Amino acid sequence: MRATTEIVEDNKVKLSVVVDEAEIDSALDSAVRSIGSSARIPGFRPGKVPRRVLEARMGGATALRAEALREALPDFYAKAVVDTDVDPIAPPEIDITEGEESGPVHFAAIVEVRPKVNVAGYDGLTTTIPSPLVNDADVAGQIDRLRENDGELIDVTRPILNGDLVTLDLKGNDEEGNEVAQADDYLYEVGSGVVIPELDEALLGLKAGADLEVSGTPAGGTLIAFSIVVTAVKEKKLPEVSDAWAEENSEFSTVAELEADLRERIGRMKVVQAQMSLRESTLGALAELVNEDEVPDVLIDAEVNERLHDLGHRLESQNMSIEQFLSATGQSGDQLVLSLRTDATKAVKVDLALRAVASAENLDVSPEELEEEIVRMAEQVGSTPDALRAQLDQAGRTGALKAEKAKSKAASWLVEHVTIVDEEGVSIDRALLETNVAELEAEDDSSSIEEEK
C-alpha cells in the first residue's frame, strides 16, 4: 500500500491511497468471510455460504466486491493515516477512483485535520497565583477562627444584628399549602443565607418572641412560605487573646509561640496552594493566546460529548439520573451544555496551544521516553509493555500517546519560563515555590502524629 498527502484547503488534507492487488485480495477475502458469517440464506449455515451463492444473492461479483470494499477500506484508511502521520479530527470522505471491479484499488480520502494555532507570546507569559507569603492578617485570621471555636453563646435582649445566632421554631408550606419544612429550636446564624436570603433581612431588628412570615425559594427548590417564631437571640462572646488562653487551647504556653507555629503551618499550606495553582493558571494564560476562530467546532463538540458521557457515568455510580442532577443544581439541560461548552472550549484551546509550543520548542519525544511511558502505563493497567505496545499500534494510538507526552513536556517548559505574580501584581520569587509538596505533607502528617501522642 502507498499513500501520499495533499493540502486541499485550510485544515483539510487529501489522502491518495493505492492498495496493491495482492493486499486487496487478501482483505476482500476476509471481508467476504465476514459478510458470509452474518448472511442468513436458507440451506446454509452462517459462515458456510459459498462465494458464488453470496454473489448471486447480492447481485453479482461486482456488487459483492463493492460491499467487501466498504468493509475493508476503513482499515486501509487507518493504516494510511498512521503511515503519513496525518492527525484527523473528523470522519473522512472516501471516494474510490479505480479498482471497483478488479485489480489494485485507488481511493482518495479528504479529512479535516487538527489545526496548528498561533500562540505568539507564549514565551513571555505572565500568570497570577495566590501569594505563598504569610502576612499578619493570615495569622490573625487563624487566631480569630480559634477564638470562634472557643466562643461562648450568651442570650441578649437587644434587637437582632447580623452575625447573631437565633433559635427558631419554623414551618414551611409550598404553594399548594403542603407542609414541606418543620423544625423547633433551629439554631440559625443571621446573615448566612442558608434557608432563604429573604430570612436574614426579615430577622434584622427583631427581638426574642417575635413572629414573622417570610417567603422565598431555596437553592434548586420551589417557593416556600415560612411561619417563624424567634425563641431566643444569642451573640457569641469571644475570649480575649492571652498567654493563658493560648496555653488552655493549644500545645503552646504563649501567644507568641502559637502565632509562630500558625505562621509556619499557614506558610506550608500557601506554598502548596501556590504550587497547585501555578500549572493551571499558566495553562489558562496560554489558552487566552488562542483565537477562538482557530478552534474547530468538531473538536469542541467532541469534548462536550466526552464530558457529558463522563458526567453520566459519575451520576450513574451515585444512583442519580441526569434529570435529578439538573433539578438538584437548578439548571436546565441547555444551561448544563453551555457551561460544559465553555470549559470544553478552554480545554481544546490548551490542547492546541500545547501542541504548538511543543513544535516551536522542538520538544520531541524520544523512543526511550515513549518506551518509559508504555512501561508505566502497562504497570498501571496490569498488562505487559509488549501487549500494550501491540494494542496501541493496532489501534493507531501510538502517535496520540507521543503527542500527549510532548504536550506534557510543553506544559513543564511553560511553567519553568512563565513570569509569576500574586493578586497584587507583585513578582513572586520562584525559589519560594520549589519546596517539595510531598515533604510538606509528610511534615504535616508527622506533626499530626505528635499531637495525637
Mean pLDDT of 335-362: 96
Total number of domains constituting the chain: 3
pLDDT tens-digit profile of 79-108? 999 899 899 999 999 999 998 888 899 999
Joined together, the cell numbers standing for residue 293 give 476562530
Residues 272 and 232 in one domain: no
Domain boundary (176, 210, 237) is at 237
- Give the phi and the psi of residue 158 in degrees, each rounded to 5: -70, 170
The whole domain housing 187 covers 152-237
247 assigned to some structural domain: no
pLDDT tens-digit profile of 128-157? 999 999 999 999 999 999 999 999 999 999
- Give the phi and the psi of residue 17 in degrees, each rounded to 5: -125, 135
92 assigned to some structural domain: yes
Residues 190 and 275 in one domain: no
Domain of 15, CATH number, reads 3.30.70.1050
Chain Cα centroid distance, residue 322: 18
3-class DSSP assignment, residue 313: helix
CA distance readout (Å), 451 to 142, 268, 444, 446 = 18, 18, 10, 9
145 assigned to some structural domain: no
> What integer best gives the mean pLDDT of the chain?
89
147 assigned to some structural domain: no
Antiparallel, parallel or unpaired: β 165-173 and 419-421: unpaired
Residues 405 and 271 in one domain: yes
Residues 262 and 203 in one domain: no
pLDDT confidence bin for 450, thresholds 50/70/90: very low
Residues 195 and 261 in one domain: no
Mean pLDDT of 284-298: 95
Distance CA 9, CA 12 (A): 5
The pLDDT value recorded for residue 436 is 52
The pLDDT value recorded for residue 63 is 72
The pLDDT value recorded for residue 448 is 43
124 assigned to some structural domain: no
Domain of 438, CATH number, reads 1.10.3120.10
Residues 202 and 287 in one domain: no
Domain of 179, CATH number, reads 3.10.50.30
Residues 170 and 222 in one domain: yes
